[in-house]
């Protein structure tokens, strides 16, 4: 009898376990929900727009090209950049400096004038990088890049200073002192790397001293700084040197990139790995600000005059939809620590490793050579469309703003570093078709929105959404794009709203919008009061 009861008990327990298991299977999975709660009436102040203060370009001579100028005018219009920084202003292909038969210096600014006049015509200002060395003034023959920028110190520092002074005087005559006061003068580029500076740190500080004093001799209000280093290097040393030697300095500049493995890949041949550190790049910026604040010159501005996910012009993350969310994540993390963060660069018309032969090759640009918008372009376009008044927001991966006319803008994203780790290079990973996984629901909830009728536009960047590289993959990755293929990719990724609708907001009723969000999606909501 006891045996029968035991069997019945075991049978009942088994049936119970089966029923529990079936019940669990029938229950729908819990979908995560991220809620952005906003009060229209609670503001946190003026939106910090350091994100579009400056943008990078390859070298000055490329700025004489019609397609480069057309792309810059477009990027300026859509993304609002105010300054532009580039290499090679003094390199031989700009024909700035030579000597006569007696060895006397001869200055020529015709090419610089064409370039700077164009910048002026579209409302942009130069972030003047002084470099590289004119051959006639160079102490050696060491160069960098396909276009042979000379990286040696001057053979005569007095003649270097005379060139800098005369160039600064020329700028003053051509554009006026009040205009040039708004510019920045940065001395050299990444002198802590042997590839960019054939001298020592002491030699660089000597170059900086001669340059800064030459600029200030024209107008003491002109702004000069450095050291323009790779990897946030030499900042305390730079400040200490200037303090000890009474050398003028107005800002600290440096660079950071979000990959592991070194800082310089001249011809785009090395492999890279996107850093898994969630504070890569932004951690450097915060540390730089901390170093300045704790120095004897806490008033100095901080400019990151180059930054991106990767330091090589052959990294497919630059073309990927992941780059848009990456950029937004880093800028949000930086907050007010930097006065500017200059994305490197605005266009793939960029010839450090020489002209490129494929339309998508992992180039630095926001636009490819044919002017196709990459996903990162839209990240900057969306930021530029934010209203000037930021609203209080506890969500760490979004901005919500309004403008003076009552329109509301919300920019929200997911950044998920899906890179598999050190065993795989970016160059093997980001060239693939990379479908995104669901991250659940995103709900934007705004209370105290003034009642009325609004046009709601929703824009999106993500996998197969304003994702030109995926369109290129679908075409079979042609080595060259014909005119029809370029237009097809542009049309498929033209930044049009994914939805448009009319919204009636009633007094006392919150505005709520729920969206499906996936890994590395970026959403921009634009509520236009009618």
Residues catalogued as catalytic: 190, 306
CA-to-CA distance for 142 and 200, rounded, in angstroms?
14
CA-to-CA distance for 273 and 309, rounded, in angstroms?
10
| Cis geometry, peptide bond prior to residue 257 (ω within 30 degrees of 0) | no
> Do you know the residue count of the chain?
530
Q: Is 281 left (phi over 0), alpha (psi -120 to 50) or beta?
A: left
CA-to-CA distance for 127 and 54, rounded, in angstroms?
8
CA-to-CA distance for 387 and 406, rounded, in angstroms?
9
Instruction: Outline where 267-321 has alpha helix (H).
Output: 282-293
196 to each of 79, 204, 302, how far by Cα in Å? 30, 11, 22
345 is written with which tokens?
């660069």
Beta strands in 20-87 (DSSP E): 33-39, 43-46, 54-59, 83-87
184 is written with which tokens?
């920045």
CA-to-CA distance for 358 and 343, rounded, in angstroms?
22
DSSP annotation of 181 reads T
């Amino acid at each position: 009898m006891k045996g029968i009861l035991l069997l019945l008990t075991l049978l009942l327990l088994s049936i119970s376990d089966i029923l529990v298991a079936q019940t669990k299977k029938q229950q729908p999975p819990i979908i995560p929900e991220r809620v952005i709660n906003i009060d229209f009436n609670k503001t946190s102040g003026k939106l910090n727009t350091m994100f579009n203060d400056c943008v990078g370009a390859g070298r000055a001579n490329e700025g004489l090209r019609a397609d480069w100028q057309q792309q810059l005018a477009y990027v300026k219009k859509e993304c609002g950049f105010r300054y532009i920084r580039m290499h090679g202003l003094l390199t031989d292909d700009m024909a700035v400096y030579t000597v006569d038969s007696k060895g006397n210096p001869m200055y020529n600014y015709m090419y610089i004038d064409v370039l700077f006049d164009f910048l002026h015509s579209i409302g942009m200002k130069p972030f003047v990088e002084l470099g590289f060395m004119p051959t006639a003034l160079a102490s050696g023959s060491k160069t960098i890049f396909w276009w042979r920028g000379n990286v040696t110190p001057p053979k005569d520092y007095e003649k270097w200073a005379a060139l800098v002074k005369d160039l600064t005087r020329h700028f003053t005559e051509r554009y006026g002192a009040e205009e040039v006061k708004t510019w920045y003068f940065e001395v050299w580029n990444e002198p802590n790397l042997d590839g960019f500076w054939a001298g020592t740190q002491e030699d660089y500080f000597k170059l900086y001293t001669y340059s800064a004093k030459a600029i200030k001799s024209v107008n003491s209000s002109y702004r000069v700084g450095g050291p323009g280093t790779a990897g946030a290097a030499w900042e305390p040393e730079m400040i200490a040197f200037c303090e000890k030697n009474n050398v003028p300095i107005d800002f600290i500049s440096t660079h950071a990139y979000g990959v592991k493995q070194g800082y310089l890949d001249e011809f785009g041949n090395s492999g890279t790995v996107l850093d898994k550190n969630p504070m890569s790049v932004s951690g450097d910026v915060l540390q730089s600000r901390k170093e300045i604040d704790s120095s004897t010159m806490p008033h100095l501005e901080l400019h990151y005059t180059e930054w991106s996910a990767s330091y090589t012009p052959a990294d497919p993350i630059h073309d990927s939809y992941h780059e848009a969310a990456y950029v937004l994540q880093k800028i949000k993390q930086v907050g007010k620590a930097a006065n500017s963060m200059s994305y490197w660069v605005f266009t793939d018309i960029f010839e450090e490793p020489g002209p490129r032969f494929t339309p998508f090759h992992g180039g630095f640009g926001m636009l490819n050579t044919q002017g196709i918008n990459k996903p990162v372009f839209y990240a900057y376009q969306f930021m530029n469309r934010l209203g000037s008044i930021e609203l209080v927001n506890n969500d760490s991966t979004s901005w919500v703003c309004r403008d003076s006319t009552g329109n509301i803008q919300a920019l929200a994203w997911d950044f998920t570093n899906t890179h598999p780790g050190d065993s795989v290079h970016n160059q093997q990973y980001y060239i693939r078709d990379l479908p995104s996984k669901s991250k659940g629901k995103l709900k934007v909830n705004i209370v105290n929105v003034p009642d009325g009728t609004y046009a709601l536009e929703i824009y999106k960047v993500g996998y197969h959404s304003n994702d030109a590289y995926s369109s290129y993959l679908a075409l079979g990755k042609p080595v060259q794009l014909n005119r029809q293929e370029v237009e097809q990719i542009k049309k498929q990724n033209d930044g049009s709203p994914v939805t448009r609708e009319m919204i009636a907001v009633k007094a006392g009723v919150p505005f709520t919008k729920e969206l499906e969000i996936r890994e590395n999606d970026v959403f921009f909501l634009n509520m236009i009061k009618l």
